[in-house]
Amino acid sequence: MSNLFGTDGIRGRVSLDACDDEGALERIVDERLLTPQLMKLLGEALGRCLPEEGEGSQVVIGWDDRPHNATLAAWLTLGFHASNCEVVHIGCVSTPMLHYGVLETNSRLGCMITASHNPVEDSGIKVFDAHGRKSMPAYETLVSETAYSLSQEDREIDEVDRKAWMKPDSEHSVNHAAWLERRLALLQPIFESSFPSNALLLDSSKGHASHWLTTWLQTQGLSIEEVSQDAPAMNDGCGAGELSPGQSWTWDELNASGHLLIQSLTTQGVGTLLGAALDGDGDRCLLVRETNDGVEVVDGDDIADAVLRACPKAWKVAASIESNLKLLSNIEEDANMQGFETAVGDRWLSHALAPYVPHQEQQPLLFGIEDSGHIVLPSPHPSDANHWSLVGDGAMTLLLALLAFESAGTDSMRKGWKKRLSVKNPNRWMWDGRNELADTVEGMVRTHLELAGDVGNWQRMGLEGESNLMLLRCQFNGMDVSFGLRNSGTQEKTSISLRFSEPEPGFDAMLLMRSVQNLLLRTFNPVAY
């Protein structure tokens, strides 16, 4: 049995071909095909495995603008009804509004039908608990097991019931703009700054935000223009999913970038924030700023650094193992702040910060960061001003970044060295982070470092949420070093990451990474190598 869930839900290319339950499971596991039958099966499994927290059997379903999502929502609704759940539809929304919808309707569970930044022909599902937090691995394993068990049962739904059960019990409307206004009123006093006056371009990846966000931002005094309406489809040559942390272009390279936002930028002065990009489902944001000879991506680490410089208070900060090590070092060196390193995925940011969510009127000083532009912030509960939840919202991230950079200036921290490589191979099951192969990799990394300089405080460890992660930490010539090796939760690849707290490692660090990469290639496929 395979766990159907990855790092952020289930994703696959949509196929509307008919199949039975077993066929639906085989297609998502073997071919990455997402079928209506799978959505029905998932609805049944989720309905039978409602989380312990919360009351009743009401679930909320929302979806993004992808062409087949309304059909997939109907089949998911059918599955929930087959498990005696009450279903509320909130329609076409962004992922943050699914979080909000769960809280506002006091539902037991929420499902967002989306594939985030994946191509428009893909779709998927993200699951939220009664607190509006994304589902955790233990729960996802239970749902997967239940789906496999149900696929072996003889269950039939007659045609009359099928048509009726595809419809929701009720519909509910959510208002993203009103929610943002409420949150902005709490956040803005922290930074004591206004929004920039220069012209900005916005790329909402032709997702739901492209229909309303620019107009609302203009009412807040921003001079801003949406560009993604000219994209062929959602996430096609647009959006945050097409940009990467550390990416840059000279002015001569802009037109060849193939990205609508990048192609549309014009000079306004070095250091000026020129534009912002959301992903397709609207839960993350990256910005773009002018450099001496072109433009560069402003990532989640840059935003976090600006926040901490603009407002040096007692923040509690969660950062994933893909965040810049210099940022983490800066947090650890500040006695007023507390930092937590987490597994990859914004759900782990929320998980790390959840114990510190207070009951108070003021905005709590909590945030979680991933360099991909996922920023998790506290949000007031829809029905209780003193109760807070944690959510990633690309539109709110944009507001946070603009306020922080306007207050702190657009200069960024002196970043540490950070690189990632990957090995694409279905035999990645041979890596588990604990076996002989892991021991060999550890020895290789340590030998490379010891030949290049002084090594101390060596640690081998894991992190909650990354069952196959091997994380190596040490001091190297006075620098903090972190080496991570893990199987991706969204693709058939094994990821290698190496980080130093200073911008120059002082030796050929890429040689070390390629040596590990070649070792994995030889191990995974010895015939080819």
Q: Among 157-161, 301-305, 351-355, where is mean pLDDT lowest?
A: 157-161
Residue 332: CB atoms within 10 Å = 13
- 112 backbone dihedrals φ, ψ, rounded to 5°: -110, 120
DSSP-H helix ranges across 361-485: 394-408, 436-452
Confidence of residue 489 (pLDDT cuts 50, 70, 90): low
pLDDT (tens digit, 9 = 90+) per residue, 268-285? 999 999 999 999 999 999
Mean pLDDT of 10-21: 94
Task: Look at residue 424 and tell me whether its pLDDT is greater than 90.
Answer: no
259 Cβ contact list (under 8 Å, min separation 6):
237, 238, 242, 243
Task: Look at residue 343 and tell me whether its pLDDT is greater than 80.
Answer: yes
Q: Are strands 109-113 and 58-63 parallel, antiparallel or unpaired?
A: parallel
* Token duo for residue 188: 């803005």
Q: Tell me if 245 sits within 8 A of 324, measured CB to CB.
A: no
Residue 426: CB atoms within 10 Å = 9
- Give, in order, the Cα–Cα distances in Å from 336 to each of 289, 316, 339, 379, 445: 30, 9, 10, 23, 34
Mean pLDDT of 332-355: 91
52: exposed, middle or buried (Cβ count in 10 Å: 0-12, 13-18, 19+): exposed
pLDDT at 368: 96
pLDDT at 504: 94
Strand ranges (DSSP E) for 16-161? Answer: 33-34, 58-63, 86-92, 109-113, 122-128
Domains of the chain, first to last: 10-174 (3.40.120.10), 177-408 (3.40.120.10), 418-524 (3.30.310)
Task: Look at residue 437 and tell me whether its pLDDT is greater than 90.
Answer: yes
Distance CA 430, CA 436 (A): 10
In this structure, is the dihedral angle defined by the CA atoms of residues 218, 221, 222 and 223, taken in order, positive or negative? positive
Q: Tell me if 8 sits within 8 A of 489, measured CB to CB.
A: yes
Task: Look at residue 529 and tell me whether its pLDDT is greater than 70.
Answer: no
pTM for this prediction = 0.91
Residue 398 is which amino acid? L
Distance CA 463, CA 500 (A): 19
Task: Look at residue 490 and tell me whether its pLDDT is greater than 70.
Answer: no
pLDDT averaged over the chain? 93
Task: Look at residue 247 and tell me whether its pLDDT is greater than 90.
Answer: yes
Confidence of residue 465 (pLDDT cuts 50, 70, 90): confident
Distance CA 28, CA 391 (A): 28
**Beta-carbon-side half-sphere exposure of residue 480 (alpha carbons within 13 Å):** 14
Residue 526: CB atoms within 10 Å = 9
